[in-house]
């Protein structure tokens, strides 16, 4: 649950971050989006996701 708390904090302090930006903030430069997918699902009720989730329009996360 600690990673989920960190992700929530990162989203609150820097709204509009992508999955890749969040993964790299938590796991370093080798972080991949798969590294944070489960944790983002845990905080789904507290953040909103915008974007199409594809190249050119990645998912971006904002506090609700």
Please write the tens of the pLDDT for every residue from 27-49. 888 888 888 888 898 898 999 99
Nearest to 21 by CA among 63, 58, 64: 58
The overall pTM is greater than 0.75? yes
Q: Could you list the residue range(s) of the whole structural domain that residue 30 is in?
A: 2-63
Name the residue with higher pLDDT: 33 or 55. 55
Average pLDDT, the chain: 91
Task: Please calculate the CA angle 21-26-30 and round it to the nearest 5 degrees.
Answer: 70
**CATH number of the structural domain spanning residue 21:** 1.10.10.10
What domain count does the chain have? 1
């Amino acid at each position: 649950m600690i990673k989920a708390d960190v992700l929530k904090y990162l989203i609150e302090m820097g709204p509009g971050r992508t999955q890749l930006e969040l993964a790299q903030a938590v796991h370093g430069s080798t972080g991949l989006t798969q590294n944070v997918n489960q944790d983002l699902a845990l905080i789904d009720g507290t953040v909103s996701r915008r974007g199409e989730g594809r190249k050119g329009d990645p998912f971006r996360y904002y506090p609700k």
